[in-house]
Structures are given as structure tokens and as C-alpha cells.
Amino acid sequence: MKFSSIAAVLLFVSSLSAESTFTNLTDPQEIRAFHDVTGRIRCICIPSIAIKSCSFNNCTVSAKLKVFIENRIRSGESADTIVEKMVKGFGPDAVKDPVIAKFIESGNTGMAESVVYGFGPDILAKPDSTWIDASLFMAGALGILLMFLYLKKRTTAKASSANPSQENEAFRKYLSEIEEKQK
């Protein structure tokens, strides 16, 4: 019981931390814009989650894109504009950004080109609920199966123990038959 309580608390805490991401922005409006953009753009390494939930440790490309997004917000671009430009491209001026310059310098020209010319609509975070739905269905089916097996076991146990007088009578009859055969 203790272990399950601890596991539940840890799961809750980790889910809270997965929904937030670190930013160096300090202005509350800029932070809201950052969270808006990072919630609408998908992670480069794990496309099934938003970049907001993408780990800095596991996906350095997304971490660098987060810094690029911060730079765009600092330059005065709105969240909607940044998301639109992520899809359609920021144009050749984007290579002046230190993050994109670093992509080019390190040989990651594909990422730099995607920022300049756009990632296309696939960069938008579209939560795929297929696995969630399937796991909920499987958990429900397993629960129903376990309840069915429990009720079946319970009713058979009741049926066999419901008539102890009949069992005693059958045993006595058996004993009397044996006694008669021995005579």
C-alpha cells in the first residue's frame, strides 16, 4: 500500500514537471508566449509530444529550438507569428540568429534550412490519442475480465458450500453402501 502511494505521488510530480519547460525569459507576457509556442510545436526527437514537454537532456535540437523561440519572442514576434513562421519559414534573415548560425557551423544544415524555409505543417503538435485510447480500452477489458473471473469463482464457491447437508447425506449414503457390501 505504501509503495503504490509513493508511486502515485511520483507520477503526479513527474507529470507536472513534464508540462512545464525552462525559459530564460522574465517578462510574464513573454513567458506566456513562450509556453504557447512550445505547446503548439512538436519535439524534433519525439514527435508525439510538444516541444514544451521535450527533455533538454534527450533532445538537444529541441533545446536549441527553444532558445531560438526565446530569441524570436525577445525580438517582439507574437506566438502566432512564430508558429506560422515555423511552418512557412523565417526567411534568410534567420541565419543571423546565433542558434541557427551554430546549426550551420556544426554541419546541421538540414535543421537550419528547415528554420529558414519552414518545417511544414508536420511541425505542429498534434496529440495522437491512439495509444491512450488503446491502453484505456485494454485496462477496461482487463478489469471486466478480472471481475468476471472473481464473480465466477465466488459463485462456484457459494454453490459448493451452499449445501453442506447434501454433502453430509451423500457421504453417509456412501458409507452405508460400503457397510452393506462388507456384510
| CATH number of the structural domain spanning residue 55 | 1.10.8
pLDDT at 17 over 50: no
At 58 the pLDDT is 72
At 53 the pLDDT is 83
Q: What global pTM score does this model have?
A: 0.59
pLDDT for 48-82, tens place per residue? 788 888 876 678 888 899 999 999 999 999 999 99
Phi, psi of 63 (to 5 degrees): -60, -40
| Residue 139 and residue 106 share a domain | no
At 11 the pLDDT is 42
pLDDT at 104 over 80: yes
Average pLDDT of 20-29? Answer: 82
| Residue 105 and residue 34 share a domain | yes
Contact 84, 39 (CB under 8 A): no
Percent of the chain with pLDDT over 70: 79
| Residue 45 and residue 110 share a domain | yes
2 located within any domain: no
| Residue 117 and residue 42 share a domain | yes
| Residue 98 and residue 83 share a domain | yes
Which residues face 41 on adjacent strands?
124
Domain residues for 46?
28-123
| Residue 141 and residue 106 share a domain | no
Q: Which three cell numbers stand for residue 52?
A: 514544451
pLDDT for 111-163, tens place per residue? 999 999 999 998 998 766 677 778 889 999 999 999 999 888 887 766 665 56
108 located within any domain: yes
Nearest to 123 by CA among 44, 19, 33, 35: 44
- Alpha helix (H) residue ranges in the chain: 2-18, 28-40, 60-74, 79-88, 98-105, 109-117, 130-161, 164-182
4 located within any domain: no
Count of structural domains, the chain: 2
Percent of the chain with pLDDT over 90: 45
107 located within any domain: yes
Q: Which three cell numbers stand for residue 28?
A: 510574464
**Domain end: 81, 102, 123, which one?**
123
92 located within any domain: yes
| Residue 83 and residue 170 share a domain | no
Q: Which three cell numbers stand for residue 172?
A: 453417509
CA Rg, the chain, in Å? Answer: 32
| Residue 144 and residue 96 share a domain | no
**Domain end: 105, 123, 141, which one?**
123
| Residue 150 and residue 112 share a domain | no
Residue 9 pLDDT grade (very low, low, confident, very high; cuts 50, 70, 90): very low
| Residue 146 and residue 108 share a domain | no
